[in-house]
Structures are given as C-alpha cells and as structure tokens.
Structure 1
C-alpha cells in the first residue's frame, strides 16, 4: 500500500478516536459510564467478529487456548479503561482528557524499562520529565507552584488512571502475538460485555428516553472509534510497523482540541502550554529525535 494512503488511514483513525472524547462528554450527561461502555461494545462486537473472521482469518483453536488472557484484556482495556474515560469526561473537558492521554507513549517506555530491562537514553528520561511537567500544568490549571495545595480536578486524575490501565492492557496485548489484533479485540470485548451484562440489567437502564444527540453519540462510538479506528490502525501497523504508526497517536489531543473549539469550548493558556510540554516530552521519549540525528 502507498505510504501516503497509510498516513491518511492513520489520520482518519485518530480523528475517529478524538471524536470519542467529544461525543463522550455529551453522552455521559444522559447515561452512566457503565451503560455507555456496555452498549458501545455490545453492538461493536457484531461488526468486529465478521471483520476479524474475513480480514485476519484467525485460528479459533488458538484463541481458545489463551482465553484467560483475553478475559483480563477485556477487564482492563474494555471495562476499566472506558469506565475511567467516560467517568473522567463527567468532570473534565474532552481537551484536558485528550492531553492527559498523550502521556501513553511515555508511560509505555517507562513500563518497558521496568518490566523488560529495556535501555533508555538521557534524552528519553528528559522527555518523560517534560511530559510529566505538562500534565502537572494541566492538573493545576497552570498554577504549578501550588501543586500541594491545589484541589485537583477529579476528571483529570481519573484520566491519569485510564492511562495507567491502558498501558497495562497494551503490555498484555503485545504478548499475545499468536492472536491477530482485531480478533483479540473482538473476543476480549465479548468477554467484557458478558461480565458487564448482569450489572447493566441490575441498574435497569432505560435507553428509550435518550435524546437524539446521545443516540447519535453512541452510534458514532460503535462504528467509528470501536470498529473503524481499530481496523485502520491494524492495517497501518502491518504496513509501516507500530513505531511509526504510534507517532500519529499524538494527533488525538490536537483533533480533540480543534473539534471542541469548533463546538464552542474555550482553550485556555494552561491547556495550550501543558499540551505543548506533553507533545515535546512524548517526541523525546519515543526516541524520534535520536533516530533523526542517526
């Protein structure tokens, strides 16, 4: 595939993921985080399984052998991450949530160092520090000197938790090399939906009174972030590898800020400065500057 087509797929993929933050802010006003997560993935698996079957042609016997790991992935990546994300959006802005999520590459590098003894350069250590500084600017709304006296936004702290959970999910997913990624997503989502079902029915959620905006948001989440982004992402990773594809994840906060700005959200100076620090830190942490010098 032409590299420019791959880049286009990655841009669209991250645009869809950015829309999840924005729509999530509206949907959370009418339905609980549990409800959003359940309905989003309950319908998404109806599309993911056929796509996985025809696109990846998995050996289902191999899938059955690693079902415990897929259950854990469902708990972490589908239930815990999405519950934390949508809970965070109940307290903070989509832009702040997206900027905090930009910590993911840096956290992944630190985890690799701790768990696999991977070597890290001084420049990458500097990048991690700059990223953390950027997040502190966001958490303290620019008043970083009052770090121990600030009443932190609960949503921003929940988003930090979501980043940690996603890191654990990603590390586990990397070890399941024998299972194609879309297949692993579909099966882990199925386990997650089964585990969430009793709690959803116990809450007795009534979706008949949802507004057109909320229904549109849920449909968007099902089709675009859950299915479209995963398919485009995995096609791109196969073509150019996870290292180069991962750089494009930094577009999520940018797209989120642009979409939120169009919808009327005011981007503050603290968000702009914090976001720039996060981006600069991620750029150094991923080692891209060192690769360009080499």
Structure 2
C-alpha cells in the first residue's frame, strides 16, 4: 500500500508530539529528583510492566521475536536506549529553547536518511515544507521577536539533541521499511512494542549503570515523582509509540517527520493550560506555518 497522509494518519501523528510536549515539561520538573539515564530506565521499565500482561507471550523462547532479535535490538537501541536518554540528558545540560530549536532539525534528518540509505528522492515540495515547518518552530521559540533568536547560543549539550534527532529519523525509516519480521508480529502492536522495549531496557540499564558508576546518578523518591513516572510511561511511551508506529505506516517517515515540529507548539499550549500563560498571535502564525509545511510536503 502506498503511504499517504490521510486524516486518520494526521490524527495518529499528532498524538505523539502532544505526549512528548508533556514529557518535556515533566522531565524538566523532575530533573532535580532523578538523573536522566535513571529516569529513562524507570520510564521504560514501567512501560514494560504495563505491556507485559498484553503481550508477554512474545518473550517466550519459541516466539517469532527471537529469529529477528538483531532488528529488534537495533530498534530498541535507537528509540528506547538512545533517543529518549539523549533528550533527558539534553534537558539537564542545555536550555529548553536550545533543545527545541535543535530538535526542529528532525524533518531534515528524515529527508536526508531517506535519500542516503533508502534511495528516496527529496522533492521540492518537501524542502519547501521543511522550511515552512522550521519557520513555525522559530516563531514559537522567538515569541515573534527576532532579537530573542539572536540571543540563542548553542552549547556542547545541544549535540545530544542532534544525535537524538538522527536516531529517531533512523528508527522511523526502519519502521517504514520492514525486513524480516513476520506480518503477524508486526500487526500485533503490543507485542511489537514490547519486543523493542525488552531490548531497549538492556541498553538503558547499561547507560544508567554507567551514570551511577561515574557518580552522576541520583534518585529522590516522592509521590510527585511517582505520578510523573506513571504519566511518562503511559502517555509519551506506550500511547505515543503506538500512535507513531501506526502513523508512520500510513503516511511514511518523510511526511511523519514534519509532525514532530508540533511539539514546541504543544509545549506552548500546555504552558497556557498549566501555567496560565495567555496565547499570543505568534502561536496562531506558528501553527499555520507548521501545518502548512506538513500539507505542502505531503502533497503529490
């Protein structure tokens, strides 16, 4: 089936940016309570526990997962072990405006990786759409004032976000280009995700162990931390990954990549709801540019 952007695909691809905007807000709020690699490990351990009753059979020795373990190990590394850990690490080392700004490079990574490794040509419409989408992100970040962007200074921690964006783009292309796993495994979303998490937890545990070995790990239990962990395990992990996988399958990774730039806009809207900030004209303009970039890039 040829990938195309339908209303259903657009809805599915809008859910992850909303969840990830909440993830960024919560991640910043609890950064003093738990170190980034440990937070990533706890998040996915909870997600694993949630999915285990639904798809625990996929971990049995005779499961279809194990003949394809190399592919699932790579999917788990790129998403659970790399992308999320790098973002949490970036939230501890870079200013939020830097993290969002550098993260807006994801659509470019999508187009670049698709061209280099999958032979997918980049159209002029996609380039125009990428430019429109990034302009929308810049409107949110600058609050409609050019001098705000002129004050932005990139720091070494921003490299983490670039690495995370590249990892996510590669992960998305791997989802859209299945190789060896049977259709029955791929169509069972909970089993497919649980297989990725199982391998991703290994990578996350190694990262967390290294964090504590270097003396940089910390964990301070509290009920707000517990509530935050439940949220990021259910929403940004299970729900968002399910929606992203289904959306990429329908629209293709190149078009899907533009939806990630909705994240800073949703972050601004969440700030309006939870922090009482009033929406501004530039929020509307940003939405028009980001949505316009999605439409332009996905037209044939």
TM-score range, shorter chain: 0.7 to 0.9
Instruction: Pick one of 33, 37, 41 that aligns with 2:40.
Output: 37
The count of aligned residue pairs is: 279
Q: Give the equivalent residue in structure 2 for 1:61.
A: 63
Counterpart Cα distance in 1 of 2:8 and 2:120? 33
Shift in alpha-carbon separation, 1:237–1:277, aligned structure 2, 3 A: closer
Q: Give the equivalent residue in structure 2 for 1:230.
A: 241
Q: Give the equivalent residue in structure 1 for 2:251.
A: 242
Q: Deviations over 1:54-105 (max 9, x none)?
A: 9x9x996331111112112222211111111111222222x66456544434
Superposition RMSD on alpha carbons, in Å? 4.3
CA contact under 8 A between 2:83 and 2:167: conserved in structure 1? yes
Instruction: Pick one of 63, 68, 75 that aligns with 2:77.
Output: 75
CA contact under 8 A between 2:16 and 2:240: conserved in structure 1? yes
Counterpart Cα distance in 1 of 2:99 and 2:291? 14
Counterpart Cα distance in 2 of 1:106 and 1:279? 16
Shift in alpha-carbon separation, 1:77–1:34, aligned structure 2, 3 A: same
Q: Between 13-22 and 70-79, report the one with greater CA deviation.
A: 13-22
2:213 is equivalent to residue 210 of structure 1: no
Q: Give the equivalent residue in structure 2 for 1:117.
A: 119
How much has 1:257 moved relative to structure 2? 1.4
CA contact under 8 A between 1:77 and 1:166: conserved in structure 2? yes
Please show how residues 1-294 of structure 1 align to structure 2 within 5 Å. 12-52=15-55, 61-90=63-92, 91-93=94-96, 97-98=99-100, 100-131=102-133, 142=146, 151-154=153-156, 156-176=158-178, 178=181, 179-180=185-186, 181-197=189-205, 200=208, 203=212, 207=219, 209-234=220-245, 241-243=250-252, 246=256, 249-264=260-275, 280-285=292-297, 287=298, 290-291=299-300
CA contact under 8 A between 1:131 and 1:281: conserved in structure 2? yes
Counterpart Cα distance in 2 of 1:212 and 1:61? 38
Shift in alpha-carbon separation, 1:152–1:142, aligned structure 2, 3 A: farther
CA contact under 8 A between 1:92 and 1:153: conserved in structure 2? no
TM value normalised by structure 1: 0.72
Shift in alpha-carbon separation, 1:236–1:137, aligned structure 2, 3 A: closer
Counterpart Cα distance in 1 of 2:226 and 2:42? 11
TM value normalised by structure 2: 0.71
SS of the aligned residue for 2:238 comes to helix
Q: Which runs of 5+ in 1 are unaligned?
A: none
